[in-house]
A and B are shown apart, each in its own frame.
Chain A
Amino acid sequence: MTTDRELDEILAEIGREHRTMDAPDRLESVLCAATGARKRALGMPGVRLRWALASVVILLAAFAATGIIWQARQNHHSQTQQEGSVPVPKLSPERIPPSTRVTVRQSVEPGSGPARSARRVKASLPRSSQKPTTWNSLDEFVPLPVSEGLPIAAELSVVRIRLRGSDLQQYGLETPADAVAQTMLAEFVVGEDGLPRAIRIVR
């Protein structure tokens, strides 16, 4: 037993000395060179792969850009067609300056104010389109309450105007409280007499 214990001690001593030995440093440089050579060997296919991926990305981007442009052109075209669906024999669409709008308001007959906005109205254009002039129904042209009683216009023009929600009240339209301060783009159908007949909220 004593010999076994002594043997273990001797082996431990040899082991301690044994473990102080390091691998030669010169092998490190050899291995690093081999690893670098591997990197160079891997590099060529890697570069090709990166170029291929870049080409695919560029192609996809080009297709996407083409699609976006095409879509924008289509939208513009359809918008133009929509505008053109209303006959505009003489006037071209243009912004009505605020002063003009004041004139329109002044030309409104007494009694055709906001108080009448909730009822069904009959506008000069189109007469058949009878639906409540609520805020959510203005995505297409609806007759203005203030236009009731006006003579049928022989010539109509579409005029695009940027106005505030509160401005709609002067045309007899009801505006939600949260939209009073909002700015919006609207299209008015205006007769040859300069009075608005119908309105549509563009956005």
Chain B
Amino acid sequence: MFERLRRVGLNGELSDEELHRAALAGRSEAMAALYRRHGGLVYRFTLQMSRNEAAAEEITQEVFLALLTQVGRFDPARGTISTWLCGIARRQLWKYLERSDTAALLDLDEESTAELQSLSDGPAEILLRHEAVAVVRAGMDELPPALREVVILCALEEMSYEQAAHVLAVPVGTVRSRLHRAKARLAGLLRGEMANTERKR
């Protein structure tokens, strides 16, 4: 395999598993290839969730180092390396969020209508200055992490429900319901923005 690694020059022909084995054998170019292939996904996910570049970089680095340290935990039969990496990133993220802002980690069962209302009120001021995209973007930031991560994975990264379920370690049905609730919130924000615009006219 290492001969093949030299021959193909890491031009995308090697699978993630082959690159992972090469990286475990100490091939730094294999690690670089894996990072170039999946680093963007992990970094975007962590940045979008944490809204903190330094934290996103640190977590991304930790995630890829886990490729070397948590050797036996990746099972190709259960999922791809990308979803496995995102799963590690998610665990790191939740630890980070717990440390940084416990208020953001509201239990989904305790979500109140008042919170939904406050979301509607908050973006209303923003709608005066920004278009609908900005409202949705801001609405995503206000979503509870458990809903936000589903939106990021399924809507922004275009993962399938099954892949997202693997990352989040929840059933596919949970992914569907969380995405539905997240979209309902964002749609509520969007309706409020549209109504506000109408009033201004």
Contacts and interface: CB of A to CB of B under 8 A. Distances in A.
Answer yes or no: are A and B bound together in one complex.
yes
B40 A35 contact: no
A24 interface: yes
B133 A14 contact: yes
A15 B151 CA distance: 10
Interface residues of B, number: 42
Contact of A31 (B25, B35, B44, B137): B35
A169 B30 CA distance: 76
B57 to A, nearest CB: 6
B187 A4 contact: yes
B31 interface: yes
A19 B65 CA distance: 23
A106 to B, nearest CB: 71
B155 interface: yes
A31 B32 contact: yes
Interface string B154-175: 0111100000000000000000
A36 B26 contact: yes
A34 B68 contact: yes
A34 to B, nearest CB: 6
Given A3-B191, A28-B39, A31-B35, A18 B132 contact: no
Contact of A27 (B44, B60, B68): B60
B82 interface: no
A21 B132 contact: no
B36 to A, nearest CB: 7
A43 B155 contact: no
> For the complex, would chain B's binding face be called helix, strand, loop or mixed by DSSP majority?
helix
B43 A7 contact: no
A23 B39 CA distance: 5
**Contact-residue bracket for chain A:** 20 to 34
Nearest to A18: B156
Given A10-B133, A36-B28, A3 B39 contact: no
B143 interface: no
Contacts of B152: 18
B48 A18 contact: yes
B5 interface: no
Interface string A11-45: 11111001101111001101111111011101100
B47 interface: yes
Contact of A38 (B26, B57, B64): B26
Most B Cβ at <10 Å: residue of A3, A4, A35 = A35
B136 interface: yes
Nearest to A4: B187
Given A14-B133, A14-B140, 6 more contacts: A23-B42, A31-B31, A31-B61, A33-B28, A38-B68, A42-B25
21 contacts: A6-B132, A6-B190, A7-B183, A12-B155, A15-B155, A19-B40, A19-B156, A21-B44, A22-B40, A23-B39, A23-B43, A23-B60, A24-B43, A24-B60, A27-B39, A28-B32, A31-B28, A33-B28, A35-B30, A39-B28, A42-B26
